[in-house]
Structure 1
């Protein structure tokens, strides 16, 4: 796994990890699973990742990378917010996936750190 920095945000009694990396942090399913396990064992159950830290394959639902990784976060009971601009993705299935994920609330696709932090408090 590439070098990463974890910034801890505090919202009431929630401890939120913001994962920062200059490189693509999640290139494949194993990277995503390793990251989820690492953060879980550090005591985080709310995580923010920037979309620029995730390989483009994640956003191509046919690859099943997103499904596998998000299922792992869910298995660890980690709420996840992915921060970025998702308007650049033209895929209807991805946009539907983002809409449904945001509606359920365990996985959120948001445009800012502030929005991510507020979603965890809901």
Structure 2
């Protein structure tokens, strides 16, 4: 069983996932995370980058789109925490995707939990 922690940051209930656990690699894995989130009555899932499958970062694979669509459908937010600079350096499309996501409220790519706290405070 993967360790989950529930926090409330600036009025937002956050499900923090441990770095070890199943990869977010498609719709089925997204639904599993969404089920955990609903079971704990949270609004945002904070997932370490170690739990994100490499295909997610290859936009042509469709994994990112499928995952984001599931989170949107269930009205949950997702924050990917960790260093994605290696992925972004190799893809202009991914760099643009990350930039656009970080301008919104549905999906964020953040360096760490401190940056998540700052975003939620703002």
Structure 2 residues without counterparts, runs of 5 or longer: none
User: Runs (4+) of structure 1 moved beyond 6 Å?
Assistant: none
CA distance in 2, matches of 1:87, 1:53: 16
TM-score if structure 2 supplies the norm length? Answer: 0.88
The superposition leaves residues 1-27 of structure 1 with CA deviations (integer Å, 9 ceiling, x where unpaired) of xx3111122223221111114244323
SS in 2 for 1:88: helix
TM-score if structure 1 supplies the norm length? Answer: 0.88
The superposition leaves residues 34-89 of structure 1 with CA deviations (integer Å, 9 ceiling, x where unpaired) of 21133123201111001111111111101111111111111111121101112111
Structure 1 residues without counterparts, runs of 5 or longer: none
Please provide the CA RMSD for this pair. 1.6
Residue matched to 2:36: 38
1:24/1:52 contact within 8 Å kept: no
Give 1 or 2: higher helix fraction: 2
CA distance in 1, matches of 2:19, 2:85: 22
